[in-house]
Structure 1
Amino acid sequence: MPEGHSVHRLARQFGDVFTGEQLAVSSPQGRFVRGAALLDGHTLTGSTAHGKHLFLAFGHGLALHVHLGLYGAWDFGGDAGFRGASSIGAPRKVGEREIFDDGASAEPAPYSGPPAPVGAVRVRLAGVHGWADLRGATTCEVVTEAEAAAVLARLGPDPLRNLPGDRDSFVAAVRARRTPIAALLMDQKVIAGVGNVYRAELLFRQGLDPWLPGRSLSAAAARELWDDSVAVMSDGVRDGRIITTPPDCWAGLAAGGHRGQLPAPDESHFVYRRQGLDCRNCGTPVALTDLGARKLYWCPSCQR
Structure 2
Amino acid sequence: MPEGHTLHRLARLHQRRYGGAPVRVSSPQGKFTEASAVDGQVLVKAEAHGKHLFHHYEPGTVHIHLGLYGTFSEAKLPALPPVGQVRMRLIGSTHWTDLRGPNRCELLMPDQVDAIKARLGPDPLRRDARPERAFERISASRTSLAALLMDQSVLAGVGNVYRAEVLFRHGINPMLPGRSLDPVQWKEIWDDLVVLMRAGVRSGRIDTVADEHLPEVTGRAPRQDRHGGEVYVYRRTGQPCLVCGTPVAHKELAGRNLYWCPVCQPA
Identify whether the pair has TM-score above 0.5, normalized to the shorter chain.
yes
Partner of 2:136: 172
Partner of 1:95: none
Q: How far apart are 1:173 and its partner, in Å?
A: 1.5
Q: Deviations over 1:27-78 (max 9, x none)?
A: 111111x211111111101011000000000133x01100101000111111
Distance across 1 between alignment mates of 2:16 and 2:27: 23
Distance across 2 between alignment mates of 1:117 and 1:253: 46
Partner of 2:230: 268
Task: For 1:177, give the aligned amino acid.
Answer: S
Give % identity.
Answer: 49
Distance across 1 between alignment mates of 2:127 and 2:224: 28
Partner of 2:264: 302
Q: How far apart are 1:224 and its partner, in Å?
A: 1.1
Is the Cα–Cα contact under 8 Å of residues 165 and 208 in structure 2 kept in the other structure?
yes
Distance across 1 between alignment mates of 2:188 and 2:224: 26
Partner of 2:69: 71
Is the Cα–Cα contact under 8 Å of residues 185 and 191 in structure 1 kept in the other structure?
yes
Is the Cα–Cα contact under 8 Å of residues 73 and 136 in structure 1 kept in the other structure?
yes
Is the Cα–Cα contact under 8 Å of residues 24 and 127 in structure 1 kept in the other structure?
yes
Instruction: Please provide the CA RMSD for this pair.
Output: 1.5
Q: Deviations over 1:160-186 (max 9, x none)?
A: 01436x121122121011100000000
Partner of 2:99: 134
Query: What does residue range 218-233 of structure 1 map to in structure 2 within 5 Å?
Result: 218-233=182-197
Is the Cα–Cα contact under 8 Å of residues 250 and 264 in structure 1 kept in the other structure?
no
Partner of 2:161: 197
Is the Cα–Cα contact under 8 Å of residues 213 and 243 in structure 2 kept in the other structure?
no
Partner of 2:248: 286
Q: Deviations over 1:204-238 (max 9, x none)?
A: 01111111100011111111111111111111111
Q: How far apart are 1:254 and its partner, in Å?
A: 6.7
TM-score, normalisation: structure 2: 0.94
Is the Cα–Cα contact under 8 Å of residues 162 and 230 in structure 1 kept in the other structure?
no
Task: For 1:302, give the aligned amino acid.
Answer: C
Distance across 2 between alignment mates of 1:116 and 1:292: 42
Q: How far apart are 1:279 and its partner, in Å?
A: 0.5
Partner of 1:51: 50
Partner of 1:87: none
Q: How far apart are 1:249 and its partner, in Å?
A: 2.2
Distance across 2 between alignment mates of 1:132 and 1:42: 16
Task: For 1:273, give the aligned amino acid.
Answer: R
2:151 is matched with which residue: 187, 195, 203? 187
Stretches of 4+ aligned residues off by more than 6 angstroms: none
Distance across 2 between alignment mates of 1:129 and 1:219: 48
Q: How far apart are 1:252 and its partner, in Å?
A: 3.3
Q: How far apart are 1:127 and its partner, in Å?
A: 1.2
2:172 is matched with which residue: 196, 205, 208? 208
Is the Cα–Cα contact under 8 Å of residues 160 and 234 in structure 1 kept in the other structure?
yes
TM-score, normalisation: structure 1: 0.83
Distance across 2 between alignment mates of 1:265 and 1:148: 39
Task: For 1:71, give the aligned amino acid.
Answer: Y
Helix, strand or coil: the match of 2:74? Answer: strand
Distance across 2 between alignment mates of 1:242 and 1:176: 30
Q: Which deviates more from structure 2 when the two are superposed, residues 220-229 or residues 68-77?
A: 220-229
Distance across 1 between alignment mates of 2:134 and 2:192: 13
Q: How far apart are 1:9 and its partner, in Å?
A: 0.2
Partner of 1:106: none
- How many aligned positions are there? 261
Is the Cα–Cα contact under 8 Å of residues 200 and 206 in structure 2 kept in the other structure?
yes
Task: For 2:10, give the aligned amino acid.
Answer: L
Helix, strand or coil: the match of 2:41? Answer: coil
Partner of 1:27: 27
Partner of 1:250: 214
Distance across 1 between alignment mates of 2:218 and 2:155: 37
